[in-house]
Structure 1
Amino acid sequence: MSIPIILTNRVDSSLYRKYLKSAKSDLKDATEKILPILRSVETEGDLALRRFTETFDGIQLESIVWNPMDVQVHIDPDIEKAFLKAKENIESFHRAQLRKDWSIQVDGNRLGVKHSPIPSLSVYAPGGTALYPSSVLMGVIPAIIAGVPEIQLVTPPQKEGLPPILVWLAKILGIKRIITVGGAQGIAACAYGTESVPKSEFVVGPGNTYVAAAKSYLAGLGLIGIDSPAGPSEVCIIADESANPMWLACDMLSQAEHGEDSSAILLTDSEALAKEVSRELEKAFEERPKRLAMKKKAIYENSAILVMPNIEECISFSNELAPEHLEIQTKNPEQVFAGILHAGSVFLGPYSPVAMGDYISGTNHILPTARGSRIYSSLGVDTFLKRVTFQEISRESLSRLYPYVKTMSELEGLDEEHGTSVKVRTEGHQH
């Protein structure tokens, strides 16, 4: 068995249509299963959280909420150094995103925008084998820069207690509350609030299908804001004959390592390169057996190498795919990048693997998946800022523009009050 190498073109779309299908998991079944959980948390609060935690995690909660300052932990100095460096880079990149308030004169009136942060945030951190402490940095740092006043971490309980790395991260980030409830019940606690868990207006962070279903459902009800609907991790790579086939294989496998439902699509105009990458993948399976079954399933069932007539067709296909991660490994990556319309995050040149953005470069790795980058952007400071528009109308402008308001309000049948509210001000009645 080997990864499919497909020679295709834009006309014969039947050969690759399957790779344009949304990679997002079907949340219908998961949503049906979590609805009773959400309702129980809404009505029973902490009692439901304790019951579901014992049922799903096999743990009787000693406490639902922890103050990380009360927990002593020891972290390996090398791990501290790595995360502090990542924190520094993420802060530098996200500070540059901070918006300034502004105003302009339009037709004699002062109009403008004032930015204000959302009031509260929960950052979900998965537990067990899916513990991704780097995602805590990605979720919390832009929110702090945006000025969000209330931030809490939410994570499934562990039999060994709180993961030391999460406690340490909470301390260095200034987070004063860790909620030890996971799954759909943890998201519900954030959305509804309980006796112990303060309600949050916004929830971000990765999680399993039930977490994703809970976030999407509760966001649909308007109870919380979320980053974007989440699906399996994915990468698309555009490469020409100048690319290193071993490096390309490594980058495809780095996505396959996330889970068996992950996907890696290589788009190239070189059949020779395609064959080399396929050989390198097989070689890697023999040399690096960790998570082998998972990686093989992701590569053999969800991934492909598509050989296109030219790089322009690769760009076109990538824009249709709208991938979470896009690597461009060509002779002139900037020229290719100029044609890219949709991608969560783009990695330019041979020395820019996705793993750099995952951990250390400073960009955010919480990204839209499942073709979501057509309408969503990566998590950033903007995610946590609201725009409030304002206007200060001058007396002269009000009188001059009233005839237009009169005409438009009459057309819409709202002239009696809308039109009058402007008209009375033109008549000079003041108190």
Structure 2
Amino acid sequence: MIQRRDLRGHKPNPTELLGLVPRPTIDVSVASAAAATLIDEVRSRGADALLEQAERFDGVRPRDIRVPSSQIAAAVIALETPVREALEEAIDRVRRATAAQVPPEIVTSIGPGAQIVQRWQPVARAGLYVPGGKAVYPSSVVMNVVPAQVAGVASIAIASPPQREFDGRVHPVILGAAGLLGIDEVYTMGGAGAIGALAWGVPSLGLTPVQVITGPGNIYVAAAKRLVTGQVGIDAEAGTTEILVIADSAADARLVAADLVSQAEHDEAAAALLVTDSLELAERVEAQLELLAASTTHSARVRAALSGPQSAIVLVDDLKTAVAFSNAYGPEHLELQTSDPEETLRGIENAGAIFLGAHSPVSLGDYLAGSNHVLPTGGQARFSSGLGAYSFLRPQQLVRYSREALGEVAEKIVALSHAEQLPAHGDAVTARFDHSSASEPEDRL
């Protein structure tokens, strides 16, 4: 069912490893043309285009694109007690962990009367995408909203696709999660069109443009986020889920297989990889995968994901090579199920989130670890990070100099301005000293 790649006896360099890691046969760029068309439709025709796209892709026409606040309030009341308690616990844990991501304001004194202040300013408005389709993700409401709130974002809009089984409404558990977090601006719209609507706004709906769009989605959502970058900021292209497990002979094959299946059930294009230096473990995991794939609820989906080109069991000579392979892959989720996970961690550079040991499965991070599950996919963990409060913050430097402090560096500014053939730069400094007066007010720091 799952392919096996045997790299034993080979010591590929980093460039060669990039060519060896398994990837889906379809990448985000393939969906760009279709996503661009959907975005253009929304920009030109607004709500009418969103309604037509819902009928075409979701099989239902929403009654209301802007969800009435009464529906959100009713959804909160309708939450089953175990689900509500789990959501409240997740909100608390993610909020506590995310608070560590907001840097304090730092003042650096360059000299007497010369200060640089580093502050982190939140965007005023954010758009958060919560996917629907093969599964329902109230946990993604938590993972998107809490970091924005912790960062201090004042205005938050959520977009989520209409559901046929709920008469074209947003899934009630998603609405309930939004209500628990105090969000009252929710739109029944999905896919690339929703991303375009958040980026440029839809006046007839009262939807004003946002500054940042975050959240996971399918390949068209990821393509749309790439296309609107520049009009808005994005977190990363969080697409179809990935798990990579580094394991040695000490690992429990049943647990490794269970974790691979847990992510494979998301989507037929989900990637599940085991990298190990133990042939015996690889064989035991293969056997466990057959058993679990046959018995799990979404059996067909899991089998398709595990048998796809994006999934594999990779055999290597040692854990050092396993770590190098993982760094080249840059997994969304990385599990270290080795005899000494902390030692294995020393070599890890690229991963969205890292789970250490047999009792830290990815499922924990999906819901209640306190970490965020909106993470970069497709190798983007090699250069970007998961969603956090910092996704909604912009570092700003405040420059505060007194007249005396400016005078200390005036000649050097003039020298550099002439060296760059931009003399007016220097003139702007010397002008402050040409007509000085004893009656000038003192600078206050």
Residue 103 of structure 2 is aligned to residue 93 of structure 1? no
Partner of 1:299: 306
Structure-to-structure mapping, 1:18-417, within 5 angstroms: 19-20=20-21, 23=24, 25-71=26-72, 72-73=74-75, 74-108=78-112, 109-159=114-164, 160=166, 161-194=169-202, 195-196=204-205, 197-219=207-229, 222-286=230-294, 288-301=295-308, 302-415=310-423, 417=424
Distance 2:140 2:313 in 1: 29
Distance 1:58 1:233 in 2: 24
How many pairs were matched up? 427
Secondary structure at the aligned position of 2:134 is classed as: helix
Distance 1:298 1:163 in 2: 25
- By how many angstroms is 1:28 displaced? 3.3
Distance 2:108 2:21 in 1: 44
Distance 1:26 1:128 in 2: 20
Distance 1:164 1:320 in 2: 40
The answer to whether the 8 A contact 2:134-2:266 is kept is no
Distance 2:9 2:226 in 1: 36
Distance 2:107 2:402 in 1: 15
Distance 2:433 2:397 in 1: 24
Query: Which residue identity lines up with residue 105 of structure 1 in the other structure?
Result: S
- By how many angstroms is 1:400 displaced? 2.4
The answer to whether the 8 A contact 2:244-2:331 is kept is yes
Distance 1:410 1:99 in 2: 38
Q: 1:104 to 1:257 in 2, by over 3 A?
A: same
The answer to whether the 8 A contact 2:17-2:325 is kept is no
Q: String of CA shifts for 1:405-426, please: whole Å, max 9, x gaps.
A: 12221122111x1011112224
Distance 1:274 1:19 in 2: 19
Query: Which residue identity lines up with residue 162 of structure 2 in the other structure?
Result: P
Which ranges of structure 1 fall in alignment gaps of 5 or more residues?
none
Q: 1:164 to 1:103 in 2, by over 3 A?
A: same
Query: Which residue identity lines up with residue 101 of structure 2 in the other structure?
Result: Q
Distance 1:231 1:350 in 2: 26
Distance 2:267 2:19 in 1: 19
> How high is the sequence identity, in percent, across the aligned residues?
34
Query: Which residue identity lines up with residue 20 of structure 1 in the other structure?
Result: V
The answer to whether the 8 A contact 1:329-1:350 is kept is yes
Please report the RMSD computed on the Cα atoms of aligned residues, expressed in angstroms: 2.2
Partner of 2:11: 11
- By how many angstroms is 1:317 displaced? 1.6
Distance 1:9 1:408 in 2: 57
Query: Which residue identity lines up with residue 6 of structure 1 in the other structure?
Result: D
Distance 2:117 2:18 in 1: 46
- By how many angstroms is 1:46 displaced? 2.2
Secondary structure at the aligned position of 1:217 is classed as: helix
- By how many angstroms is 1:65 displaced? 0.8
More deviation in 144-153 or 68-77? 68-77
- By how many angstroms is 1:332 displaced? 1.5
Q: 1:10 to 1:111 in 2, by over 3 A?
A: farther
- By how many angstroms is 1:23 displaced? 4.7
TM-score (norm 2): 0.90
Q: 1:56 to 1:330 in 2, by over 3 A?
A: closer
The answer to whether the 8 A contact 1:239-1:330 is kept is yes
The answer to whether the 8 A contact 1:3-1:278 is kept is no
